[in-house]
Amino acid sequence: MEGAEAVDVVVVGGGQAGLSSAYHLARAGIGYVLLDHAPRPGGAWQFRWPSLTYGKVHGMHALPGMELTDADPLRPSAAVIGEYFAAYEERFGLRVRRPVDVTAVRDGGDGRLRVESPAGIWTARALINATGTWDRPFWPRYPGQKSFRGRQLHTADYPGPQEFAGARVVVVGGGTSAVQHLLEISEVAAETTWVTRRPPVFRDGSFGEAEGRAAVALVDERVRQGLPPQSVVSVTGLPLNEAVRTGLASGVLERRPVFDRITATGVAWADGRQVEADVILWATGFRAAIEHLAPLHLREPGGGIRVEGTRAVRDERIHLVGYGPSASTIGANRAGGAAVREIRRLLARGTGGPVRTGGPVRTGGADGTLEPAGVRLA
């Protein structure tokens, strides 16, 4: 295609899933380019609120080949993980182009995919989609929502607790973000109210390998059926740590069923109960950011993309890493390797040699593995 840059594989998204995939592509000697819409390294972590310190992060798993060591738990997670991702890109010479907003992925008509963006066009024999969910915050709709005279915002726009001083705040959502918001905001707000669609389930004790496998299996079954992935907390429950225990004991985490409508000055239930509010904070999760894949018609009637492992069933050239069962940080690492193994087989079946345009590969040892290292962050 005239004016397009040809590569073996395009990776879309520069977070954990994208970097893991690029690592495995480089290790396999496969030409690639990684397109990231964010302005700097760090994936979605760079947009997290300042009060979310690294010590509060739940389940951050190291990228393959390089551990994150000695990070200060009191520093903002956005800074710690952003620096770690930047060091990782540098260490392994990963080829990342940013900021690049991929607007569409189409069938090029010649067996290749056409990846379009305002920054350029690429053609590829396969694509790894690692765009996550941060760019698609989910806003539920309720009667009267537009009449509310206070402020409405989503977790994606959460600035930290300081802006809620003296306010009456309704937090909507049953996930870990909702709990974190409530515990912070309650220290400065005049009043907080927590509402969820379903009663929250708190998980006491460790979450071991067996429990992890069971949770992944439940999510995997949905995407195999072509249904949209469920939230992680819907299958794992909420961790019951000391801060949560305190919140439950104090009443901050006393949950109410979700309201039926929104009024000009708050929220109301069908039985006549009302709560006055200055702010409604929607901690209602995110949806997969996959609109750019729409021209490929991958969606099933159930609304999701049916995948086997990471491969889209409707198009074997497309792999989704960080989607469904691989949405966790450790899942994204493993899925990146699995996707590259399948892509390697796909490229081997094609005619002609692969287009070698990927970034530099740094190896160490006779087996050709990428050089392992640790990075220390103050």
Whole-model pTM: value is 0.83
Distances (CA, A) of 43 to 15, 135, 168, 333: 4, 11, 32, 14
Averaged pLDDT of the chain: 86
CA atoms of 28 and 156, how far apart (whole Å): 36
* 8 A C-beta contact, residue 325 and residue 215: no
Between residues 289 and 239, the one the model is more confident about: 289
pLDDT in tens, 31-56: 999 999 999 999 998 999 888 889 88
Beta partners for residue 256, in sequence order: 195
Q: How confident is the model at residue 213 (pLDDT cuts 50, 70, 90)?
A: low
Residue 220: what residue type?
A: D
Whether 122 and 5 have beta carbons less than 8 Å apart is answered as: yes
Helix 176-185 with 242-250: angle, nearest 10 deg: 60
Q: Closest by alpha carbon to 64, among 352, 335, 339? A: 335
Q: Is the CB of residue 62 less than 8 Å from the CB of residue 37?
A: no
d(CA 21, CA 129): 10
Cβ neighbours of residue 318 closer than 8 Å, sequence gap 6 or more: 105, 113, 126, 127, 129, 293, 296, 298, 311, 312
Per residue in 273-303, pLDDT (tens digit) is 999 999 999 999 999 999 999 999 999 988 8
Confidence category of residue 216, pLDDT binned at 50, 70, 90: low
DSSP readout, 229-267?
PPPTHHHH-EE--HHHHHHHHHTTT-EEEPPSEE-SSEE
pLDDT of residue 351: 42
Residue closest to 310 by CA, chosen among 224, 181, 187: 224
Query: Is the separation of the CB atoms in 268 and 261 below 8 Å?
Result: yes
Q: How far apart are CA 123 and CA 112, in angstroms?
A: 6
pLDDT band at 362 (very low <50, low <70, confident <90, very high): very low
- Distance, in Å, from the CA atom of 78 to the CA atom of 50, rounded to the nearest integer, reads 7
Q: How far apart are CA 32 and CA 30, in angstroms?
A: 6
Whether a cis peptide bond, with omega within 30° of 0, leads into 99 is yes
pLDDT surpassing 50 at residue 368: no
Which tokens go with 31? 């030409």
**DSSP 3-state of 224:** helix
Reading the block at residue 305, the tokens are: 């993309």
> CA–CA distance from 320 to each of 131, 260, 310 (Å)?
9, 36, 5
pLDDT of residue 328: 59
Alpha-carbon separation of residue 358 from 30, 33, 90, 124, 220 (angstroms):
7, 6, 15, 12, 31
